Amino acid sequence: MLTEIRAEIDRLDREIVALIGRREELVRRAGRLKADADAVRAPDRVEQVIGKVRALAGESGADADVVEATYRAMIAAFIDLELRVRPEE
């Protein structure tokens, strides 16, 4: 039983990493298209995403606090990435 659970966790980790890679690709594309770096840092932008994922957590039965903590860390990394990407001219 424990072996199956760990195998499923490993499968989910691969899926999560693939999704993060896809999100990274989209963030880089958005970063190249951004016109205003201040908008990337806007405090309400993060709170909008957090509100959205907390609602999604509720719909899926996930712990909203765990989802929020995970997303806050992920969003911080993606904001840093997006700010490093040079806009297209």
Pick the range with the lowest mean pLDDT from 7-11, 20-24, 56-60, 83-87: 83-87
Instruction: Give the model's confidence band at 12: pLDDT under 50 very low, under 70 low, under 90 confident, else very high.
Output: very high
Residue 40: what pLDDT?
A: 65
Sign of the CA dihedral running 64, 53, 42, 70: positive
| pTM metric for this prediction | 0.74
Residue 66: what pLDDT?
A: 97
**Tokens coding 50:** 């957090």
Residue 88: what pLDDT?
A: 65
CA gap 55, 53 in Å, rounded: 5
Cβ(81)–Cβ(28) under 8 Å?
yes
Q: Which of 52 and 30 is assigned the larger pLDDT?
A: 52
CA gap 41, 36 in Å, rounded: 9
- One-letter amino acid at 50 equals I
